Amino acid sequence: MLKLVQKYRNEAEICLNSKAYFAGLVSTRAALETILMARFLLELFDWSEKDLKKYNITITDDNEIYLSRIPNLKTLIDETYKAKLITKTGYNAAHRIREWGNKIHSVKVTNMKRLPNISSRNLNARLKDLDLVIDQLLKTI
């Protein structure tokens, strides 16, 4: 999953350099969701059987993880912060990426007459937010 995070991050950088800011924002949000999910999955190995059952999570003897449902991005951010895997600064950065991603969500864009205006400044700021979150999460491994 960490390779996928890096691929999304690299794609966002390519989009920034190519002035494809909308696509870069999609890649940035995908990288955030992937790194949070990867870190969340690592935490599951420390959970008790009771906690795993409470959330309908199964870990097999071969360390395969089965989730009855995948948490949404807001929940991943909130739970990562509650677990003290990111600071308040990281929490705010992650939510900024999520909120900017919401601006380009298909439902939101469908109701608009045009695509939202996203500039290099916006994408560059979200990439800095992503780097901050990634750095904080990697320090907790």
pTM here is 0.86
- Degrees to nearest 5, angle at CA 82 with 78 and 86: 80
CATH of domain 2-139: 1.20.120
Tokens representing residue 49 in the block: 């059987």
What residue type is assigned to position 18 of the chain? Answer: S
How far is it, in rounded angstroms, from Cα 28 to Cα 26? 5
Encode pLDDT of 32-72 as tens digits: 999 999 998 888 878 888 888 877 888 888 888 888 777 89
Domain assignments of the chain as residue spans, ordered by start: 2-139
Contact criterion met (CB below 8 Å) for 76 and 35: no
Q: Mean pLDDT throughout 93-122? A: 84
